Amino acid sequence: MPMDSQKEHIQVSVRSRPLLSETSSLQLISKDPPVLLLPERSQTYQFDNVFLEDADQQKVYNDAVRPLVNLVKLGYNCTVFAYGQTGTGKTYTMGSGSQFQTGIIPRALDQLLNEEYLNNCKNEIDVRISFLEIYNEKVFDLLKSDCKSPLPVSGFTVPGLSTKNVKTAPQASEWLQLGNKNRHTGETRQNSNSSRSHAVFTIYISTKTSSEEVFGKLNLVDLAGSESVKKTGSKGGTFQEGININKGLLCIGQVISALSARSSYIPYRESTITSILKESLNIDNYISLIACVSADPEDITETLQTLDFAQRTKRIRCNPEVVAKFKKDNPERLIQGRTPMSLIQGRTPMKRWKTPLKTPISRSLGMTLLPLINERDSEISHAEVSLSIDLSAKKTAITDVQQMLSPMVKKHMVRTEALILERIANLESVIQNTLRRPTRRSSRLMSAESLKEENTPKITWGKIQDTVTKMVYSEVAQLMQKPARAASSPIDDNHNTFPNKILFRDESLDSPAIENPLHDLAQKDFSFKIPLKPAPLVKTQNDISRNSVRRSSRLALKHQANQSVDLMKSDWWFDSVITSSKRKKTEEDTLTEVMKSTPIFNNDNGHKTNTGTRRKSMRLKAQKS
């Protein structure tokens, strides 16, 4: 598309770098005019050129730059700048990288310093070049051997910047390569050889004819890539670089917006890059923007930002003029062309009073005040724009810091979350164990119960009672045969402990069953001979005393057998004792014997049970003596 026919417009091209993924987020839906569609956002953009990945360097140069170079020869200021996300091919397109890939700069040098053209040209042509970079808001001269020290910026110019006179294209290319080597580059996640600076390569041409001298200038700007700190993974110095890069790009965006809105104030001073480009980035120049994008779906956000920027740039209406055409014999005198806008920038347009001034005094006062008011007005609008730019820059910086911080915070949150989950899991297991414990305990108890049942001898209480009764019977029988043993009778000693032992055995299930007295009892043969009931005694004179002895003995036995022995049986036992004793001994002896065999118990009234018997025995003894 010939540039000359599009004088009123900035030329905007989009170049998409080769895809890294299989799918593309961009679609060219019309070739003439080129219309790009973002299917995911259902958004279309129309530009002057769209170069998809199959477009080579030659095509990009021919369509987007060649017409401008021809205009430079005629004395116009032209600027080509590559803008876009990091890693999308700006340096590749401009040819300002360390790898020489025949990008725009060498091709432009070739076109201007073409031997054939130079030989055929009747005019005297002088070509000079300069190459600077803006790194961290400082300007470095890339063509100087001592390029490490920054150059001072004075207003919109860099007084110390060196220019090199070049006669041939290869000579110019050597300087270009030297400058490329001097550029600040760094490695980011998105580009192993990322340019961390804005680079401005300028070609100055002066063409002298017989009557005049014309100056043209071509700025070839390789802007640093807009970057998301999160994606590039910038840290430390690289992070600061990223902030400055984004600040510069933001200011360029502000300048573009102000230009497209035809604002009276263009914020060039807000960053070094806009200050340096002030002479190039204005409506007096031809501008060609090459917006480099990535069609990878994961870069859609950045691609959208770049396309929006490109669309805003396209709204700028340019009115380029030949800036400087001087009479050869009087180089100071401008002989052609309108006073360019760039020369009157800074001059505030006059503003008229809305209400016409009527009285001469007020008119004269108004005339005096008007310039002051206008000046103040301009200052205020200037301050407003500066503030808004400052605010946007700070917002970007904050977003960058947030983006950098958010992975750290996220990491911390993930770790904390994992810790909390772990603790909750621990707590849960503790709670479950605690809840399960009684269940386990009860199951243990149940199994213990069943064990207890297994180990418990199968003796019913009825049987136990029978056994005890039998024991008592047996004891009684023994007492009847050997009354002297009654004092050490197990019934006497153990009548309380025996059941206790049974109880103890029931509770302690760990002891072997053989130790269980009930077991022993179960094994024992309790069969014994119950002595025949002796013949009833012939009542004697001592019947009364016998009866009292019988009462005492009955009470004693009652205690001994723990009330389980039939008291009638004790009567019978007493009778048998008395009878057997009587056969051999006197009544007195019998009484003594009974007393011996019956321990003294407290009866229910708290009196000794056999005291009467004792007293009687004593009386009998006394009578006898």
Ligand X SMILES: Nc1ncnc2c1ncn2[C@@H]1O[C@H](COP(=O)(O)OP(=O)(O)OP(=O)(O)O)[C@@H](O)[C@H]1O
Cβ 83 vs Cβ 290: under 8 Å: yes
State the number of binding residues for ligand X (CB under 6 A): 18
Q: What is the DSSP letter of 183?
A: S
**In whole angstroms, how close is the CB of 96 to ligand X at the nearest point?**
8
- Of 31-39, 89-97, 151-159, 591-599, the window that binds ligand X (rule: CB under 6 A) is 89-97
Of 112, 143, 292, 591, which one interacts with ligand X (CB under 6 A)?
292
- Of 79-87, 153-161, 389-397, 604-612, the window that binds ligand X (rule: CB under 6 A) is 79-87
Site for ligand X in 403-462 (CB under 6 A): none
Cβ 193 vs Cβ 187: under 8 Å: yes
Helix (H) or strand (E) holding 101: none
Q: Which is nearer to ligand X, 247 or 546 (CB)?
A: 247
Strands 34-38 and 124-135: unpaired
**In whole angstroms, how close is the CB of 101 to ligand X at the nearest point?**
7
- Give CA–CA dist 197/97, Å, rounded: 12
The CA distances from residue 112 to 94, 129, 172, 209, in Å, are: 16, 12, 11, 17
- With CA atoms as reference, report the closest residue to 589 among 557, 549, 544: 549
- With CA atoms as reference, report the closest residue to 226 among 204, 209, 248: 248
Regarding 610 and contact with ligand X (CB under 6 A), the answer is no
Of 225, 267, 320, 483, which one interacts with ligand X (CB under 6 A)?
225
> Is 91 marked within a binding site?
yes
Regarding 234 and contact with ligand X (CB under 6 A), the answer is no
Cβ 204 vs Cβ 69: under 8 Å: no
Phi/psi at 509 (5° precision):
-95, -10
Q: How many helices (H) and strands (E) does the chain have?
A: 20, 16
**In whole angstroms, how close is the CB of 213 to ligand X at the nearest point?**
37
**In whole angstroms, how close is the CB of 422 to ligand X at the nearest point?**
42
- Give CA–CA dist 514/5, Å, rounded: 122
- Give CA–CA dist 338/193, Å, rounded: 44
Which residue type sits at 186? G
Regarding 86 and contact with ligand X (CB under 6 A), the answer is yes
Regarding 173 and contact with ligand X (CB under 6 A), the answer is no
Regarding 88 and contact with ligand X (CB under 6 A), the answer is yes
- Of 188-196, 434-442, 597-605, 606-614, the window that binds ligand X (rule: CB under 6 A) is 188-196
**In whole angstroms, how close is the CB of 17 to ligand X at the nearest point?**
4
Regarding 20 and contact with ligand X (CB under 6 A), the answer is no
Of 79, 195, 516, 610, which one interacts with ligand X (CB under 6 A)?
195
Regarding 18 and contact with ligand X (CB under 6 A), the answer is yes
> Is 85 marked within a binding site?
yes
**In whole angstroms, how close is the CB of 193 to ligand X at the nearest point?**
6
**In whole angstroms, how close is the CB of 195 to ligand X at the nearest point?**
3
Q: Which is nearer to ligand X, 225 or 320 (CB)?
A: 225
Q: Which is nearer to ligand X, 89 or 106 (CB)?
A: 89
E strand segments, 161-319: 164-165, 185-186, 194-195, 198-208, 212-222, 286-294
Site for ligand X in 93-112 (CB under 6 A): 97
Regarding 609 and contact with ligand X (CB under 6 A), the answer is no
Strands 212-222 and 77-84: parallel
Regarding 198 and contact with ligand X (CB under 6 A), the answer is no
Q: Which is nearer to ligand X, 132 or 578 (CB)?
A: 132
Cβ 324 vs Cβ 335: under 8 Å: no
> Is 355 marked within a binding site?
no
**In whole angstroms, how close is the CB of 26 to ligand X at the nearest point?**
14
- Of 90-98, 375-383, 563-571, 617-625, the window that binds ligand X (rule: CB under 6 A) is 90-98
Long-range contacts of 521-527 (CB under 8 A, 24+ apart): 521/459, 521/467, 522/457, 522/459, 526/467, 526/470, 526/471, 526/474
- Give CA–CA dist 256/270, Å, rounded: 13
Q: Which is nearer to ligand X, 61 or 92 (CB)?
A: 92
* Residues annotated in a binding site for ATP: 84-91
Binding residues for ligand X, rule: CB under 6 A, are 17-18, 84, 86-92, 97, 191, 193-195, 224-225, 292
